[in-house]
Amino acid sequence: MVSNDSDRPRIGITTYLEPTIWGVWEREAALLPRVYLDAVATAGGVPLLLPPVGTDPSVLDVLDGLVIAGGCDVDPASYGAAPHPETVGTRPGRDEHEAVLIAAALEADLPLLAVCRGLQMLNVTLGGTLQQHLPDTGAHEQHRPAPAIFGRTEVKIEPDTLTSELFGGTTTVHCYHHQALDVVADGLRVTARAGDGTVEAAEVTGRSFALGVQWHPEENPEDLRLFAVLVAEGKKRRALR
C-alpha cells in the first residue's frame, strides 16, 4: 500500500556501483541490499537511494536523514596507509562520494547513521585510521565467522551515551567485518566495544544525532531501534522546514 503521508521523513542511503546480473543483462549497476530499504520504511521513513555518481552535497537539502551503508573495504590511501594483503575490492570513488556526504551532513547537523563500513568512513573522514585486518590483532572470529555468514557479537556500551539510551549496558548484534577503527578521530567518542576491544559504536560529539555502529542493524528486523530513532530525528528535522 502506498502512503500519502507527506510528513514521512526522507532518508537517503548510499549505494554501491558493482558488476551485476539481472535477466539477460550483465552490467555495472547501483545496488543496495533490500534490508536497508525495509528497515527505513518499517521505521516510518521514505528511503531514497544515493549512487556514487554525480556527487553533489546539495542533495542533502531534500533529505531529513542519511544512512552511510556497509560494503567493501575502505581504500587505505584515504588515511595514508599501504594496503594490507587482505584489503581487497576497494572502491575509491565511493569513498570520495561518501566522505563528501558525511562532511556535509555533519556541517548541516543532518541526522546521520553510519553502518559498518559507514562507521569506518565516518572515522576516516574526520581524520582517523583503520585496522585493516582484525585477525592480525588476535580479535575474535565472531566478527566475520565465514563468507556471507553474520557473526553474533556481544558489545559493552559506555554509560551516559545515546548508544546506552537505546541499548542499555550490553547488547548482542549481527557483525560481518574484518576491519575496524584504529586511531579514533578527534570529535568521535567511542561508545561501545566488543569483548576483544574492537570498537563497535561511536558518536560524533556536538551533533544532535550522528552515530556509527560497526554492526549491521538492518539484518535484524526484530530490532530496528537505530532506524526508528533516525526516522524520529528526521521527523523533527522535517517539521522545521
Task: Give me the active site residues, please.
Answer: 116, 216, 218
Q: Nearest-CA neighbor of 182 among 164, 197, 162? A: 197
CA distance 34 to 20: 15
Please state the φ and ψ torsions of residue 123, each to the nearest 5 degrees.
-65, -45
